[in-house]
Amino acid sequence: MKFAVVVFPGSNCDRDMYHVVKDVLQEDAALVWHETGNLENYDAILLPGGFSYGDYLRSGAVAAASDMMSQVKKQAEQGKPVLGVCNGFQVLLEAGLLPGAMLPNKHLAFMCHQEPLEVTNNQTLFTTGYEQGEVVHFPIAHGEGNYYCDDETMAALQANNQIVFTYKQNPNGSAGDIAGIVNEQGNVLGMMPHPERASEAILGSDDGIRLFQSLIKNWRDAYAINV
Amino acid sequence: MKKVTIHIALKQGVLDPQGQTIQTSLHSLGFTEVEEVRTGKTVELFLEDSADIEARVHEMCDKLLANPVIEDYSLEVEEALRT
């Protein structure tokens, strides 16, 4: 499976993503520069964490307006899996690929530590390797991870089972304890915690690796059926 | 040349942690009459005058400068006194 890791100026978790896919999972991966990259020949798109464009204006806003994100939208509409982590999630929200918006953390502090999360939907492309309700440990590292949406959007997210991960001890004030959501089609996942930083036991948790393994397995199963 | 000043602020009802923190600090300085603080930002644009200047700036706000999910904005157009 061939992964594109999109690199914006200011992305800083791009190499972590690349390392997990290439070295830990032994799949094909490439770092794709936002100005010159073409996403058509990749099977999945990863939007890494960091501070795209220095978080100027709003986190993810400038990246969301880039030509690269027009490409990501096009590929997402065709059903290609897209995973946005941390700043990648913020970019997905700003680009309108996922509903809602990010606010500064409730207590304003930048937080960087491991958090327990509950897998609230294990029926997505990204989460079949987890038990429903399983508690996993991923690191968070953000100053603006306070997920916000209006009541109508929240009701829709709940009705469509789009809430994939919730915080057990809500660290940032997120509405509905939301840590990660998918789009209605289920092929775009945005999440603030970092599965790529929890993909090897030496890092303190390898709970994150199953997210990537789920994606690869489900993609292969779908691909095999289509062939 | 026109100057357009855009005020962008979080919608009423959306938590403004920065505003709350400023309020706490004002209280600790003795300004206890402050009941609420809301923060925001100002963007100034200097641009050529045109008949549809307001519509164009609204479009800029809707597409990039403000996030309609969490923010409201207002704008003022005036003659630019810029050399």
The number of C-beta contacts closer than 8 angstroms across A and B is 39
pLDDT the model gives residue B24:
95
Interchain pair A148, B15: CB under 8 A: yes
* B11 within 8 A of B75, measured Cβ to Cβ: no
Contacts of B65 in chain A (CB under 8 A): 57
Q: How far apart are CA A133 and CA A122, in angstroms?
A: 8
- CATH code for position B71: 3.30.1280.10
Cα–Cα nearest to A183, from A175, A191, A192: A191
Domain range summary for chain A, segments of one domain joined by +:
2-225
Whether residue B7 is predicted with pLDDT greater than 80 in this model: the reply is: yes
Q: How far apart are CA A163 and CA B65, in angstroms?
A: 28
Interchain pair A101, B65: CB under 8 A: no
Comparing B33 with B12, the larger pLDDT belongs to B33
Edge-to-edge strand ranges of the sheet holding B40-47: B40-47, B2-10, B71-79
* Active-site annotation holds for A112: no
Enter the tokens of residue A77: 């509409």
DSSP A66: S
Whole-model pTM: value is: 0.94
Whether residue A223 is predicted with pLDDT greater than 90 in this model: the reply is: no
Chain B, 1-40: which have a CB under 8 Å from a chain A CB?
10, 14-15, 17-18, 21
Q: pLDDT for A8-65, tens place per residue?
A: 999 999 999 999 999 999 999 999 999 999 999 999 999 999 999 999 999 999 999 9
Rounded (10°) CA dihedral B26, B29, B33, B37: 0
Whether residue B51 is predicted with pLDDT greater than 70 in this model: the reply is: yes
Q: How far is B32 from chain A (nearest CA, A)?
A: 21
Q: pLDDT for A55-102, tens place per residue?
A: 999 999 999 999 999 999 999 999 999 999 999 999 999 999 999 999
* Active-site annotation holds for A19: no
Whether residue A226 is predicted with pLDDT greater than 80 in this model: the reply is: no
Give how many domains chain B has, as a whole number.
Answer: 1
**A2-225 belongs to which CATH class?**
alpha beta
Whether residue A227 is predicted with pLDDT greater than 50 in this model: the reply is: no
Interchain pair A65, B18: CB under 8 A: no
Whether residue A139 is predicted with pLDDT greater than 80 in this model: the reply is: yes
Q: How far apart are CA A170 and CA A115, in angstroms?
A: 9
Q: pLDDT for B32-48, tens place per residue?
A: 999 999 999 999 999 99
Q: Which of A61, A62, A108 sits opposite B17 (nearest CB)?
A: A108
* Active-site annotation holds for A196: yes
Residue matched to tokens 């289920």: A186
What's the domain range around B45? 2-79
Interchain pair B17, A107: CB under 8 A: yes
Question: What ipTM was predicted for this assembly?
Answer: 0.86
